[in-house]
């Protein structure tokens, strides 16, 4: 069976974990954590970076920092992972779901203005498949209404956006806050892991306190204060050095990982571009002007649910695991209940593009080490499409 994902190891993970253990400091905020954080700050021009135990945790930190509470509204696409909304639900906020674009699953930036009310506090653009949302449009709406932008950049490591000003900026460096994931299904991994990026300096000091259980412990260890104590809310959001050591082994090889993933992605694109997909009503991913492809994911879009289900079944018969993706959050069991007590102040509307991606999108295997098996995936796909 060819799996959909296999976690890739660079080979240095166990050596760095050994070093972390030998160093005798295996709690968080140590040497490997600092190395990883500085790597991101330097390489991508991010503001303050704080490693977390997951992207979900980083989003929870962002939700606390944004100050949302009961009665406040947060605009989130419905076609995303649960955590993009859940982090704000935990603060008691009301979720206002946005539709996806017609040409790709990212948030429909044209719809944003009509979703903003006096209660809106935050917009969460999710860079689906590592492909940039229209950040000029998102930031313009946010600026007009004084909103905080939290980029869900879980899938978006090493991807970029060029807006109208011609500046090429890394995803995760544009919003006031951003969250990354190093879950084993992402491009660079630590098993479970994530990172909060604080681009708006207003939030920098408080972010560190929330990260360290509501204490100013980090300042104490830097010698900035002579004792530390309980100064705010927070939790234990920081990963152990064992996890950071693992992540460092990945970051050292980020360029190779990305080069290999991009080769696999380009091979998919080249192959499928050579088939008459239009005749089958199947379409390929679109990377809009200004966005880049970080080869997080390769997907096909089928004309309807039945044909997608048929394709997945035929691929499985041929030994290849191709998988669909999100179920719309707005029709989830949890949200149905939650929205009875947390009603958005904008009328509920249909989200036809979100529903369509939920029914028609299928992802193909993509991981470092797939190369020897990619021919088999392509052959299985060609046969499954023709059948
Ligand atoms: C993976 C993912 C998350 C959650 O990441 P964790 O590190 O598993 O918490 C959140 N949002 C999106 C868009 C994701 O793809």
Nearest CA to ligand 1 atom 5: 55
**Residues 333-342, mean pLDDT to the nearest whole number:** 97
> At which residue do the structure tokens 């991508």 appear?
44
What percentage of the chain has pLDDT greater than the value 90?
98
The response to whether residue 132 sits with its C-beta less than 6 Å from ligand 1 reads no
**What DSSP element (H or E) covers 240?**
none
The response to whether residue 10 sits with its C-beta less than 6 Å from ligand 1 reads no
Q: Are 59 and 150 in contact (CB under 8 A)?
A: yes
* DSSP assigned state of 23: T
Average confidence score pLDDT of the chain: 97
Q: How far is the CA of 54 from the centre of ligand 1 (A)?
A: 8
Backbone angles phi, psi at 50, to 5 degrees: -130, 115
Sequence-distant (≥ 6) Cβ neighbours of residue 307 within 8 angstroms: 281
Domains of the chain: 13-251 (3.40.640.10), 254-386 (3.90.1150.10)
Of ligand 1's listed atoms, the one at least distance from the Cα of 181 is 7
Q: How far is the CA of 386 from the centre of ligand 1 (A)?
A: 34
The 3 state secondary structure assigned to 47-74 is CEEEEECCHHHHHHHHHHHCCCCCCCEE
So what's the pLDDT on residue 283? Answer: 98
- Look at residue 348 and tell me whether its pLDDT is greater than 90: no
Nearest CA to ligand 1 atom 2: 154
**Residues 229-250, mean pLDDT to the nearest whole number:** 97
| 98-138 pLDDT, tens digit each | 999 999 999 999 999 999 999 999 999 999 999 999 999 99
Of ligand 1's listed atoms, the one at least distance from the Cα of 192 is 7
Mutate to test the pocket of ligand 1, among 59, 63, 83, 152 (most ligand atoms within 8 A of CB): 83
What the block records as the tokens of 102 is 């017609």
What the block records as the tokens of 188 is 């660079």
So what's the pLDDT on residue 136? Answer: 98
Q: Which burial class, exposed, middle or buried, applies to 117 when counting CB atoms under 10 A from its CB (0-12, 13-18, 19+)?
A: middle
- Look at residue 48 and tell me whether its pLDDT is greater than 90: yes
**Residues 14-37, mean pLDDT to the nearest whole number:** 97
The response to whether residue 53 sits with its C-beta less than 6 Å from ligand 1 reads no
- Look at residue 249 and tell me whether its pLDDT is greater than 90: yes
**What DSSP element (H or E) covers 123?**
strand 120-123
The response to whether residue 81 sits with its C-beta less than 6 Å from ligand 1 reads yes
So what's the pLDDT on residue 387? Answer: 87
So what's the pLDDT on residue 363? Answer: 98
The response to whether residue 54 sits with its C-beta less than 6 Å from ligand 1 reads yes
DSSP string, 166-210: --EEETTSSSSEEEEE-BTTSSS--BS-EEEEE-SGGGHHHHHHH
So what's the pLDDT on residue 143? Answer: 98
| 150-188 pLDDT, tens digit each | 999 999 999 999 999 999 999 999 999 999 999 999 999
Distance CA 310, CA 321 (A): 13
The response to whether residue 126 sits with its C-beta less than 6 Å from ligand 1 reads yes
The response to whether residue 83 sits with its C-beta less than 6 Å from ligand 1 reads yes
pTM of the model: 0.98
Q: How far is the CA of 228 from the centre of ligand 1 (A)?
A: 33
**Residues 197-209, mean pLDDT to the nearest whole number:** 98
**Residues 207-218, mean pLDDT to the nearest whole number:** 96
| 260-317 pLDDT, tens digit each | 999 999 999 999 999 999 999 999 999 999 999 999 999 999 999 999 999 999 999 9
Of 28, 20, 25, nearest to 238 by C-alpha is: 28
């Amino acid at each position: 069976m060819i799996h959909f994902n296999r976690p890739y190891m660079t080979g240095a993970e166990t050596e760095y974990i050994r070093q972390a253990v030998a160093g005798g400091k295996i709690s968080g905020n140590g040497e490997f954590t600092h190395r990883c954080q500085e790597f991101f700050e330097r390489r991508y021009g991010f503001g303050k970076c704080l490693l977390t135990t997951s992207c979900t945790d980083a989003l929870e930190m962002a939700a606390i920092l944004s100050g949302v509470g009961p009665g406040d509204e947060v605009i989130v696409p419905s076609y995303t992972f649960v955590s993009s909304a859940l982090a704000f639900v935990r603060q008691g906020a009301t979720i206002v779901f946005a539709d996806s674009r017609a040409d790709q699953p990212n948030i429909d930036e044209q719809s944003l203005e009509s979703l903003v009310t006096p209660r809106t506090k935050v917009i969460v653009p999710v860079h689906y498949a590592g492909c940039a949302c229209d950040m000029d449009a998102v930031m313009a709406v946010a600026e007009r209404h004084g909103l905080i932008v939290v980029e869900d950049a879980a899938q978006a490591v090493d991807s970029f956006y060029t807006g109208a000003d011609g500046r090429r900026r890394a995803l995760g460096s544009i919003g006031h806050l951003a969250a990354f994931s190093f879950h084993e299904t992402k491009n660079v991994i630590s098993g479970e892991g994530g990172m909060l990026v604080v681009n708006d300096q207003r939030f920098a000091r408080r972010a560190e306190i929330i990260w360290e259980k509501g204490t100013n412990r980090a300042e104490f260890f830097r010698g900035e204060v002579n004792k530390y104590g309980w100064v705010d809310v927070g939790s234990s959001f920081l990963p152990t050095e064992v996890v950071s050591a693992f992540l460092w082994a990945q970051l050292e090889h980020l360029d190779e990982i990305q080069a290999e993933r991009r080769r696999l992605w380009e091979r998919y694109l080249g192959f499928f571009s050579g088939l008459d997909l239009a005749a089958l009503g199947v379409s390929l991913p679109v990377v809009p002007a200004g966005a880049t492809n970080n080869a997080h994911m390769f997907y096909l879009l089928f004309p309807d649910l039945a044909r997608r289900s048929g394709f997945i079944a035929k691929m499985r018969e041929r030994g290849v695991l191709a998988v669909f993706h999100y179920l719309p959050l707005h029709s989830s069991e949890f949200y149905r209940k939650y929205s009875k007590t947390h009603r958005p102040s904008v009328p509920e509307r249909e989200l036809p593009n979100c529903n369509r991606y939920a029914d028609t999108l299928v992802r193909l295997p993509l991981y470092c080490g797939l190369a020897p098996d990619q021919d088999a995936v392509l052959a299985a796909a060609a046969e499954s499409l023709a059948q």
